[in-house]
Amino acid sequence: MSRAVLVDLTRCIGCRSCQVACKSWNDNPAEQTKCLGAYDNPPSFSADTWTVVQFNEVEQADRLQWVFAKRQCMHCEHPGCVAVCTVGALTKTPEGPVVYEASRCIGCRYCQYGCPFGVPSFEWDKPLGLIRKCTFCVDRAEEGYETACVKACPTDALTMGTRHEMISEAHRRINARPHKYHGHIYGEKEAGGTSWLYISPVPFEELGFPMLDGEPMDYASSVIMNATPVTLAAAVGVLSGLYWLTKKKSQAAEEEG
Amino acid sequence: MDLSRRDFLKISGVATGGLFLPSGTALATGAYSYPLHKPIGETPTICCFCGVGCGAIVAAQDGLVVNLEGDPDHPINRGSLCSKGMALAQLNTVDGKPNPKRLTKPMYRAPGSDTWQEKDWGWTISEIAKRVKATRDENFIAQDDQGRTVNRLEAIASFGGAALDSEECALLVKALRSMGLVYIEHQARI
Amino acid sequence: MTNHWCDLQNSDCILIIGSNAAENHPISFKWVTKAMEENGATLISVDPRLTRSSSKADIYAAMRSGTDIAFVGGMIRWVLKDMEQNPGRYNMTYVREYTNAAFLIDPEFKGAPDLDGKFSGFSPGDADPNFGKYDKSTWTWQKDQNGIPLKDPTLQDPNCVFQLLKKQFERYDPETVCGVTGTDLEIYLQVCETYAHRSGPRGRSGTIMYAMGTTQHTHGTQNIRSYSILQLLLGNIGVAGGGINALRGEANVQGSTDHCLLYHILPGYLAPPNAAQPMLQDHLDAKLAGFATFDPKSASWWLNYPKYFVSLLKSWYGDNATEANDFGYEWLPKLNPGTNYSHIPLFEAMAKGDIKGLFCWGQNPAVGGPNSNAERGALKNLDWLVSVDLWETETGAFWQDPAAGGAAGIQTEVFALPAAAAYEKEGSVVNSGRWSQWRWQAVDALGEALPDLDIIKELMVELVDLYEKDGGAVPDPITKLRWKGWYDANPLPRGADSLVDLVSREINGWAETTIKNDDGSVRYDEGKLMGTFGHLMADGSTSSSNWLYTQSYNETDGNRQKWRDNVDYHPAGIGLYSKWSWCWPINRRIIYNRASVDLDGNPWDEEDFVIRWTGPEGNWEGDVPDGGWAPMNMEGTRYPFIMKPEGFAHIFGPGRTDGPFPEHYEPMESPLNPHPFSGTQNNPAITIWRPDEFGTPDEYPIVATTYRVTEHWQAGAMTRNMPWLVELMPEMFIEMSVELAAELGINNAEVVTIESKRGSIQAAAIITKRFKPFTIMGKTVHQIGMPWHWGFKGLSVGDSANKLTPHVGDANTTIPEYKAFLVRVKKGGVE
Amino acid sequence: MTTLAMRKPSTTGKIVLAILALVALLGVGTGIYRLVVGLGATTNLSDAFPWGLWIGFDFSLIAFAGAGFTLAAVIYILNLEQYRPLARASVLTGLLGYTAVLVILLIDLGRPDRFWGFVVFWNYHSPLFEISWCVLLYTTVLALEFAPMLFERFNKPNIVKAIHSITIPLVIAGVTLSTLHQSTLGTLYLALPNKTDQLWWTWVLPLLFYVSSIGMGLAATIFVWILGSKAFGRDVEVDLLGGLAKGSIWIWVFYLVVRGGDLLFTGDMAAVFAFDSQSIWFWIETIIGVILPIVLFSRASIRASQGGLFIVSLMAIVGVFMNRFNATLTAQAVTQYTVPAVSEVASYSPSWIEYSVQFGVLAAVALAWYFAARLLPIFPETAKEGH
């Protein structure tokens, strides 16, 4: 059964304990930051920052809402990063996490393109750099603990369970308080579904979430890639055939000549 | 709940989240297994920041803190913490080393000097006691101008205590009042 | 807090005013969220700007800093009007029987409506006739021949408190209120109706969460009074999910206040003797006179004062405290009556050179004190300064202040002592809900850092030694102390296994001699820990460093502060967790809880009851009741508000220095002069130290306030040295509205200068929609806000907001007016 | 044994060679520096732009090096024997092109020490995995095709003969591998549907990449042949090259029809006329690389002129370079997530070290081509191999 986290933005108070919990559990050092003219910091994901809470001032129908959204690896059901990784260093486990096996990685950074959420980050400062990203606290999970961020969340804005349970819980909350939520469950369908699911008081466009359809990132490429053996056989066949034809033609010409 | 399990020194740290019942060994079937890369924590403490009084558990190795997170048994915070509380480990340990900003030795700054000097505790305590005695002896008000016995000292003041443990506060107030202090003030008013 | 954190879940309506719980007490929102999600509670947030707390609120009302009494006064007026039309929506029994609403007040008493904003008895001061003192003799109730207060249970007598309250707030109509506070009228009316109707009916509860946004005003105490009056009218005190809840900002500000590291109180909220009380009996007589009651139904708990006072003296002076020597009473310092020894006058005395030595125990006034330019200047007058801290603070390093003009001219000797962090030592801390919780040592202190406990012990041992050897000015208070040979004995006395254990036992108290019952049987052997403060004695046979904590460490249970049973044993499951740690007094988790039941002992709220009377011969079940007496309709009962001499909660509060009712005054620096409520501009009972240091709105047109952020703590020495937190909030900043930024041509994130009459600082601009300009009496008034966490030391440095704040304080407590002052803002950094 | 060794370079030639050597040397130095201190300190790459100049050049050079498989197919599969004189040069171009690709790729990898990773760790869903394997195998094929020149030079006729005996299987393998990876380079962007601009993202992108690599291969052959001939002062076989140019018209027409038809079919045509930076780049690459070569190569006079052939083939080359750079940079949205408070959009322009390494490698390859042509039987007049 695949694990998932439901992020309820109506409950998040923007305290960012999840951000520190992530650094703390993963022994990630702090970054040098500066005031960006808002509370958000660090400005982006990086090799040392795997989750960031964004602060959104959303004005709708004369009402100003301050909506906080924790962002991190979405642990897609059909992860783009996994699809493109040259060496299979990234894998989607049946339990949910998209895990990264550092010992395989060659540092090609294709995963950074493959991810629609801008998640994998590269260790630019190291001579031998690797990719770093949220692990879904796969080690904690294996021992039966919640992820560091889910555990740290004061208001249960983060809830962990099976993906199926979390989707039902999201529906339950939206149905129980329809006025409080914008009805969409982000991640239920997006990019083929994700293990991190969001419900929000405002449309997700307002929060800058990528607007994705239900197709996995690698939908098109995998059709082509899966056709590789066919292409291969066809190429060999066509080339051999052409060769045979032209050879025959030229031999005939020679004989004639 | 199984109370016999609740030996405080052996807090299991098992998550209290009701919905999350992990499959535990499920990943062992995969190509890799992911054992905990460090201990979760076993010594309970109370967060030293605000007045909510959240519980935390601390894991220490070789004299440094290797992990600190919310105490899952604590009825107020139930394993959660805010960002300040989550960062508590850094009071002691930053990036695997002692926090370099911590004071680790008594320091003394001489009149007019622009630097600190490191001192030992014996010298420091003895010198401070001498200062207190000199100031007290010189400025003690045994009787006020109306001839009433007041036994007070207005030339020394004390600030603070909200960050101290209660036992420390109890000792401190006893010490300060015995010296005759009346300028006793702390964060409750600030 | 009258209640506690977990109890927030039981609330039907939560009013956050003067606090920003989501940011400064984030875990409180676990319980606020629970109340909203599971109890259907409504959340109201009142704040000058939309905060992280407001972001979760059902109703957010913007309010100009410093106008709480106008805001809440208008709510009180709304409730009083609604009570006339819809009495069924309110718990009138509570108002009549448990508060002093029915009391008849001295007809000589005149209130603010009569005296243009002042109360009877005012005499102007010499320096400025706007400020003076009150003679409070008319602020009292009429009494019958037995000395029992006269009441009108119909609440109709024009001299009864209820009618006087109505009269007091008649001027606070919604339009005038919103003209002063700048709140949108429609939203304001929504706040009034929602709070009254969600929390007013019987069985419903509403809670007010407040903090320094309430207290740090020249009328801070009266701000709280206005909340209390509202809560009493709505029957919200003593009930689950109710109360008046001060969210305390430091881990042990409650414990340190209980132990009274404050000039005006001794441990357990006893009074320090003053010069007019030469002998113990003089002191006790003076105190007891104030607690006297002639009503047999009034408990007036403070009548036990002598027991607590003598037990404290015994605890301090041990065997040297005897009946013959007044238990060492003479050794206690006597305050000069009427002298204020609090923070502001302390620094004024320092500025004058009267203070030679200063101890700072984890406190950093160079950043946290008001008018910090002046306060940093005053530090230069010290001969010596001892700063005990984890870090090099701005106070300990004040001589390095870049603005100080060089260290060479500063003659102060400074000792910076390394203290152990919370989990590097063992001891207890008391949270806002009065839970005294133990923390264990997880790791050794870094380097040579020591627990403060050891530092205090060693220092005092050394001092006692010096006085024993060399004598000196009046050595007895020091040499007679139970200290040397006690705390450093080996083995430690009374079976203690560590110093902290000994002190913890001492706080609880023990029998100094064998104590016998009336029948001659032994109640306590000598040295046995006291089981309850009910057993403390005034004859020197018991000692306790703090009567409030008696029971915390007893012979039966051991150290209850170490208890970690997190099962909620309350029969209604309201989340008291009575076996998790220990709570004062005697583990009562919700105080004034006898007001949560009707006259027969049946709870107003059957579902979420705190206590209930279980039967004819019965008993109370639930929380530890506020005194075990029977319900009000039975024999041997007592009124529920046992700490008040007459037993009733104070809607009319004669104890304050600035009036028995709250009255709106503007902050010392205000954009609104005059204001529409009266001709009295400022709280007339405050003290003015620096009359020339107030700015006027023509020079400084913008209202400013200070606050904290989740990611930093107080004066910042802790959090500005923790990289993960510095990363989240790296810089000093100022928040301002989009409109003000446009007016001043300021771009987001650029550096701006903020100037007040007292100083100027620079900060990065955060331009936000969360601040909106106010319309105050028809005029646009801008407000800005900034955190006060920064200073010039540590990993993250920045200007201190308190360079801008004034040296003026509340009339009752002298807490500085940090939360409302005037500034101007300019593009660019400080020149 | 005839070689061009006796043909000493002119003074201008010497200066050019010296400059190339200098640039190559600087490239080696900066390349080593990059390996020692890491990517962050030496490049302007970031999480917002993980791929830059190097990857842009790499993907372009793979197309350029398509000269190898294109000519092999023309000569051996289509049996157009008249082009056989060009075969060796195109193999050399291919081999050196792929060598440059591999060197740059190595420098660009976060873990150059693990460049072999894809051999051991397989992810056959990954376009880059397939490309890596194909490039590895195809470079081997090229090396084998190149081997006879070496062995001829060193008079090992048996080995030459042995290799010749497997020429056809080698050519079929080479063309097949090229077909796979030249098209998969397009698939590489197909896997980034939300990042790649609609003007480049299309289901037919693999086909477009494949077709353009053939056009590029022809253009590269013409370009290199002319440049190489000039370097050794030999006459250029204009008629031969004109034939290739004529052939390439049909390639580019096919390309244009597919790309235009796709844009019409998918309704993305509006974006073509949006005239934002993407559409402007689209127009530039299409006009320079496709439309102008079609128009100009259609003129027999240009096909018959050495200068015309050179310039127009260069246009096609530049066009395909642009196409690959556009797909890698212009068409790609910033890959990194940033919080809403960050208002400025991240941008990328290569650091001088990136340029230095890139041009160093190109210079080294040019030098290698020159010396190979000088020392080995590359041009027909030096080749032993008869018809």
Nearest CA to D136 out of D162, D115, D150, D151 is that of D115
CA distance B16 to chain A (A): 9
Q: Are residues A237 and A209 in the same domain?
A: no
Tabulate helix, strand, coil % of chain A (nearest 5). Answer: 35, 20, 45
Total count of residues recorded for chain C: 831
Q: Which domain holds residue A17?
A: 3-218
pLDDT at D175 over 90: yes
| Cβ contacts of A222 on chain D, cutoff 8 Å | 125, 191
Number of CB pairs < 8 Å for A and C?
95
- Tokens found for residue B132: 């207190």
Nearest-CB residue to D194 (from A40, A88, A212): A212
Number of CB pairs < 8 Å for B and C?
515
CA distance A36 to chain C (A): 6
| Cβ contacts of C23 on chain A, cutoff 8 Å | 13, 15
Binary contact (D180, A221; C-beta < 8 A): no
Q: Would you state the CATH architecture of domain B3-98?
A: Single Sheet (2.20)
CA distance A196 to chain B (A): 14
Q: Are residues A122 and A181 in the same domain?
A: yes
Binary contact (B69, A21; C-beta < 8 A): yes
B-interface mutation test, from C8, C20, C27, most B Cβ less than 10 A away: C27
Cα C129 from Cα C17, distance rounded (Å): 33
Nearest CA to A81 out of A194, A247, A1, A210 is that of A194
Cα C233 to chain centroid distance, Å, stands at 22
Is residue C165 within 8 Å of C150, Cβ to Cβ? no
- Tokens found for residue C88: 């069924």
Q: Are residues A132 and A181 in the same domain?
A: yes
State whether residue C190 sits within 8 Å of chain A by CB: no
State whether residue A250 sits within 8 Å of chain D by CB: yes
Subunit partners of chain B (3 or more CB pairs within 8 A):
A, C
The structure tokens 């040019």 sit at D366
Q: Are residues A194 and A252 in the same domain?
A: no
| Cβ contacts of A36 on chain D, cutoff 8 Å | 339, 341-342
Q: Which residue of A has its CA nearest to D32?
A: A127
Which residue ranges make up each domain of chain B? Answer: 3-98, 107-189
Cα B37 from Cα C105, distance rounded (Å): 70
Q: What is the pLDDT of residues A50-79, one digit of tens each?
A: 999 999 999 988 899 999 999 999 999 999
State whether residue C710 sits within 8 Å of chain A by CB: yes
% of chain D with per-residue pLDDT over 70? 97
- Which domains does chain C possess? 263-270+299-335+494-561 (no CATH), 343-431+434-466 (3.40.50.740), 691-827 (2.40.40.20)
Q: Are residues A116 and A199 in the same domain?
A: yes
> Residue C253: in which H helix or E strand, if any?
helix C253-258
- Tokens found for residue C55: 């972001």
pTM above 0.80, yes or no: yes
Task: Reduce the DSSP state of residue B55 to 3 states and report it.
Answer: strand
> Residue A8: in which H helix or E strand, if any?
strand A3-8
Q: What is the pLDDT of residues C679-712, one digit of tens each?
A: 999 999 999 999 999 999 999 999 999 999 999 9
- Tokens found for residue C16: 């956050």
State whether residue C725 sits within 8 Å of chain A by CB: yes
Binary contact (A95, B27; C-beta < 8 A): yes
Binary contact (D180, A235; C-beta < 8 A): yes
Nearest-CB residue to B19 (from A94, A143, A165): A165
Q: Are residues A142 and A79 in the same domain?
A: yes
| Cβ contacts of B40 on chain A, cutoff 8 Å | 145
Task: Reduce the DSSP state of residue B163 to 3 states and report it.
Answer: coil
Subunit partners of chain D (3 or more CB pairs within 8 A):
A
Nearest-CB residue to C731 (from A11, A34, A65): A34
C-alpha separations of C776 from C754, C825, D126 in Å: 22, 20, 65
C-alpha separations of C175 from C166, C680, D254 in Å: 17, 20, 77
Mark the ranges of chain A whose per-residue pLDDT is less than 50: none
pLDDT at D3 over 90: no
pLDDT band, very low/low/confident/very high, at D5 (cuts 50, 70, 90): low
Binary contact (A37, C748; C-beta < 8 A): yes
Cα C451 from Cα C425, distance rounded (Å): 6
State whether residue C224 sits within 8 Å of chain B by CB: no
Q: What is the pLDDT of residues D12-21, one digit of tens each?
A: 889 999 999 9
C-alpha torsion angle, residues B11, B16, B21, B27 (rounded to 10): -50
Average pLDDT for residues B68-90, to the nearest whole number? Answer: 97
Binary contact (C724, A20; C-beta < 8 A): yes
Nearest CA to A87 out of D54, D119, B30 is that of D119
**What is the tally of structural domains in chain A?**
2
| Cβ contacts of D118 on chain A, cutoff 8 Å | 86-87, 106
Subunit partners of chain A (3 or more CB pairs within 8 A):
B, C, D
Does the domain spanning D15-333+353-382 belong to CATH 3.30.1360.170? no
% of chain B with per-residue pLDDT over 90? 81
Look at residue B20 in the predicted model and tell me its pLDDT. Answer: 36
Sequence letter at residue D225:
W
C150 DSSP assignment: P
State whether residue A248 sits within 8 Å of chain D by CB: no
Q: What is the pLDDT of residues C465-491, one digit of tens each?
A: 999 999 999 999 999 999 999 999 999
Cα C705 from Cα C821, distance rounded (Å): 7
Look at residue C404 in the predicted model and tell me its pLDDT. Answer: 85
Q: Are residues A16 and A90 in the same domain?
A: yes
State whether residue B55 sits within 8 Å of chain A by CB: no
- Kindly report the average pLDDT of chain C as a whole number: 96
Nearest-CB residue to A119 (from D126, D184, D337): D337
The dihedral sign for the CA sequence C102, C107, C112, C118:
negative
Cα B56 from Cα B67, distance rounded (Å): 10
Q: Are residues A233 and A209 in the same domain?
A: no
- Tokens found for residue C12: 């039907």
pLDDT band, very low/low/confident/very high, at D343 (cuts 50, 70, 90): confident
Task: Reduce the DSSP state of residue D234 to 3 states and report it.
Answer: coil
10-residue mean pLDDT profile of chain C (831 residues): values are: 95 98 97 96 98 98 98 98 94 97 97 97 96 97 94 97 98 98 98 97 96 97 98 97 95 96 97 97 96 92 97 98 97 96 97 98 96 96 98 97 91 98 98 97 98 98 98 96 97 96 98 94 96 96 98 97 97 96 95 95 95 85 92 93 95 97 98 97 97 97 98 97 98 98 97 97 98 97 98 97 98 97 95 78
Residue C679: what are its φ and ψ, rounded to 5°?
-85, 0
Q: Which residue of D has its CA nearest to A212?
A: D194
Angle at A108 between CA A105 and CA A114, to 5 degrees: 100
What CATH number corresponds to the domain at position A17? 3.30.70.20
Q: Among residues 225-244 of chain A, which lie with CB inside 8 Å of chain D?
A: 225, 228, 231-232, 235-236, 239-240, 242-243
| Cβ contacts of A53 on chain B, cutoff 8 Å | none
In this prediction the ipTM stands at 0.94
- Kindly report the average pLDDT of chain B as a whole number: 87
CA distance A97 to chain B (A): 10
Q: Are chains D and B in contact at 3+ CB pairs closer than 8 Å? A: no
Look at residue D54 in the predicted model and tell me its pLDDT. Answer: 97
| Cβ contacts of A54 on chain D, cutoff 8 Å | 339-341
Buried b (16+ CB within 10 A) or exposed e, A68-78: bbbbbbbbbbb
Written as one string, the DSSP assignment of D27-90 is HHHHHHHHHHH-HHHH----SS-SS-HHHHHHHHHHHHTTHHHHHHIIIIIS--GGGGGGHHHH
Cα C588 from Cα C597, distance rounded (Å): 16
The dihedral sign for the CA sequence C717, C720, C725, C731:
positive
Binary contact (C733, A35; C-beta < 8 A): yes
pLDDT band, very low/low/confident/very high, at B31 (cuts 50, 70, 90): low
| Cβ contacts of A68 on chain C, cutoff 8 Å | 52, 55
Is residue C813 within 8 Å of B189, Cβ to Cβ? yes
Number of CB pairs < 8 Å for A and D?
233
Cα C578 from Cα C562, distance rounded (Å): 12
State whether residue A23 sits within 8 Å of chain C by CB: yes
State whether residue C279 sits within 8 Å of chain B by CB: no
State whether residue A57 sits within 8 Å of chain C by CB: yes
Nearest CA to C251 out of A228, D105, B82, D275 is that of B82
